[in-house]
Structure 1
Amino acid sequence: MTLPNNSNLIIETAKVVVLEQEYAVVECVSKSACGSCGSAEHCGNSSIAKAFPHRVHRLSVKLTEEVQVGEQIDLGLNAKNMLTSALLIYLVPLLCLIVGAGLGKFLFAQQSSNEWGVVLMALLSLGLGFVFVRLFAKRVSRQLQYRPKMLGRHRRVV
């Protein structure tokens, strides 16, 4: 199977750890972008990125061809869906925080100790934003268009 030359896909390599009928449980390792530039040894961000271990993500993927446990496969994820999800995950809590702070400022404007009311409303709204994002993520994770698809076995370029 050849890999599609499609700029609309984000392609990641994953290792097959478990086979379950027509699905495979695969592991992907999150990598930090820090450390790859020429000034990585002098950069504080690079030092922080090296201090934290890589995260391993496990997910289930429908197989399009036969694979063996331990084999690496290429996964494709729609870039537009990924960007939309990231935008919602980061912006919704931030907007809730700002709206909550504004609402708290409006509600507690007449009281002498209005700062605590503003802070409390902002934090409550932030929490509601996180709850919304969590519910959104659960709902979206069930939709096939947001799930990664197996593109084929990983082809090493020599």
Structure 2
Amino acid sequence: MIEEVALVSAVGPEGVRVTAARTSACAQCASKSNCSQGVLSQWGQGKTVEIDVQNPEALPVQLGQQVVIGLEEGSLVRASLLLYLLPLLMLILGALLGSSMGMVEWQQIMLAMVLMLTGFVLARRLSTGRGAEVRYQPVLLRIV
């Protein structure tokens, strides 16, 4: 489980709204001062994001409390594969299919682009299907 400490900003019947600081892996890296990605990640430091979190155990939280929220690693991997790998595979499939059908280069490119867009649409449909909202929703784990 991927865990993060957040601050409770609202409590409702469906769950809890929390505010968390945006951090990147570069913030903990020893080479952050020598890396251009580390310098770029410092621009986003100090910014916060508000998200709704489920409270399945009905923990008694109050405004201003620090809590630990979590997200299953499997859901993050699944979402990454859907969003990045599926459209890329569809793009490659389109290029190979166009080549095997004897299409000229611009037709191969167009077919590959159409299939890549189809991959994005499929990823969207698969990620918003029945039960997907619960799978990708962070949950409240404990009060700090």
Q: Common fold, TM-score beyond 0.5?
A: yes
1:116 aligns with 2:114: no
CA contact (8 A) 1:35 1:41 kept: no
Alignment-derived partner of residue 117 in structure 2: 127
1:142 to 111, 133, 139: 133
Q: Does 1:47 align with 2:39?
A: yes
- Confirm whether residue 102 of structure 1 aligns to residue 96 of structure 2: yes
State the aligned residue count.
141
C-alpha RMSD of matched pairs (Å) = 2.4
- CA shift, 1:125, in A, is 1.3
Structure 2's unaligned 5+ residue stretches are none
**1:70 — aligned with what?**
64
Change (3 A) 1:124 1:57: farther
- Give the whole-Å Cα distance in 2 for the aligned partners of 1:38 and 1:84: 29
Contiguous gaps of at least 5 residues in structure 1? 1-8
Please tell me whether residue 27 in structure 1 is matched to residue 19 in structure 2.
Answer: yes
Distance 1:56 1:33 in 2: 17
Counterpart of 2:49 in structure 1 is 56
The verdict on how the C-alpha distance between 1:91 and 1:138 changes in structure 2, with shifts beyond 3 A counting, is same
Structure 1 ranges of 4+ moved more than 6 A:
none
**Distance in 2 of aligned mates of 1:40 and 1:16:** 30
Query: What is the percent sequence identity of the aligned residues?
Result: 30
The structure-2 alpha-carbon separation of the partners of 1:39 and 1:17, relative to structure 1 and needing over 3 Å to count, comes to same
The one-character-per-residue Cα deviations of 1:71-128 (angstroms, maximum 9, x if unpaired) are: 2211122223332332232211111111111122233x25xxx221122111111111
- For 1:136 and 1:57, locate their aligned partners in 2 and report how far apart those are by CA, in whole Å: 25
Taking structure 1 as the reference length, what is the TM-score of the superposition? 0.73
